[in-house]
Amino acid sequence: MYLSVQISHYPLQDDYKPCIKQVIERLKSSELEVHPNRMSTQVFGEFDAVMRVLSETMKWSFETHGKAVFTANFLEGDRRPAD
């Protein structure tokens, strides 16, 4: 099953930009298709891979940078924007 996710990361600290950039880089280094933009990041891939990568990335973020809020929208299927 293919999964499309829109995720936003809000670190609860003053110097938040480096945290966001590191989370995006971790997502990009995975096997998933990742499209960051100014308000959120879109992630596409097989369901199990997406859930594994998101889980590992969020856990790493909490352990590395402390408290943060993640918001996500999950859509079954391929919702990639047309080129």
Distance CA 8, CA 36 (A): 10
Q: What is the pLDDT of residues 8-49, one digit of tens each?
A: 999 999 999 999 999 999 999 999 999 999 999 999 999 999
pLDDT at residue 80 tops 80: no
Q: What is the pLDDT of residues 63-75, one digit of tens each?
A: 999 999 999 999 9
Contact 41, 25 (CB under 8 A): no
Cα–Cα nearest to 71, from 23, 25, 1, 28: 23
Cα–Cα nearest to 78, from 25, 32, 40: 32
Topology annotation, domain 2-76: Alpha-Beta Plaits (3.30.70)
Contact 61, 23 (CB under 8 A): yes
- Predicted model pTM: 0.89
Spans of all domains in the chain: 2-76
For residue 78, the model assigns a pLDDT of 79
